[in-house]
Amino acid sequence: MTLKTKKITVSRGTFNVRDRENMDGRPVVLLHGWPESSYCWEGVAADLDPNLRVIAPDLRGLGDSERTLDVKAYQKVELAKDVIEILDALGIRDFFLAGHDWGGIVAQEMAFLIPDRIKKLVILNIPVLANVKGAEEVTKAMIAMRYIPYWYQYFQMMPGLPEAMIPGKEREWVSFFFGRKGRDGSIPREAIDEYVRCYSIEHTPATGASYYRSMALDAPRWAGLAGKRFSMPSLYIYGNEDSVIIPANITHLEDCFDSIQVEQIKAAHFLQEEKPREVAELMNRFFK
């Protein structure tokens, strides 16, 4: 059962959405990260329970959704409100939710905003916002690495630099982040081609960078989340060959969830594209 692509216009803007459109199915909402789009879930969706209605929006500024130049719109709580409004427009009340990379942060923001509507939560390779002790462990590890794995974040925070250097080099820019897994075909070439196409859309170097430029605006809210817990049953799927999300990120998770299950698979950061069947199988078992 394939995902159909459609545009949805709500008060917050116009968004591209992939949807199985099996209207009687239990909804599962899948949120992508950077520099991807909702296309990254195509492989997982192929092996998800056909009784699930898969809904995967392109987040603001990426994929084929609108390119907003106001950095404030990329605060992760604002991106969460975008997704909630899309789901309201689709008539979706209760749902399962999964998010990878920045999509995992947006999923967490949604879980704090509307916990009663999210029946189960899946997070893939991204920090847990309320994990204070884990963040301390990550800081120690990154100091030892001189924060080199975060270089691309600092690059994108520089005013005007991505806008000046990425246009015309979109393939080199996007392909770099998929590394050997992209070069050897572990991550499909057509997926990378799709992200290059989307990154070539006007203003994307700026809107993609806004995910990182807005972190200073996110920080005060995130600081206030210390001690908060996720009430819904949750699953963390960790690709344990990631160089950015390191093992320290998944320490102390029991402090943040009423119910948390952790599963590791042999994969790098883009685990849902490298090992889509394994990710789908873990989700299917968890959602049952």
CATH of residue 82's domain is 3.40.50.1820
Contact 235, 122 (CB under 8 A): yes
What is the domain extent for residue 39? 4-287
Please tell me the distance from the alpha carbon of residue 220 to that of residue 286, in angstroms, as a whole number.
Answer: 33
142-192 tens-digit pLDDT? 999 999 999 999 999 999 999 999 999 999 999 999 999 999 999 999 999
CB count in 10 Å sphere of residue 89: 14
* Six token digits for residue 32: 């992508």
Percent of the chain clearing pLDDT 90 (strictly above): 98
How high is the pLDDT of residue 2? 77
Please tell me the distance from the alpha carbon of residue 242 to that of residue 49, in angstroms, as a whole number.
Answer: 27
Distances (CA, A) of 146 to 66, 123, 139, 184: 36, 27, 10, 29
First-residue to last-residue Cα distance in the chain? 19
pTM above 0.95, yes or no: yes
Residue 37's pLDDT band (cuts 50, 70, 90): very high
How high is the pLDDT of residue 1? 60
Residue 208 pLDDT greater than 80, yes or no: yes
How high is the pLDDT of residue 89? 98
Structural domain total, the chain: 1
249-260 tens-digit pLDDT? 999 999 999 999
Cβ-count burial 224-247 (b if 16+ within 10 Å, e if not): ebeeeebebbbbbbbbeebebbbe
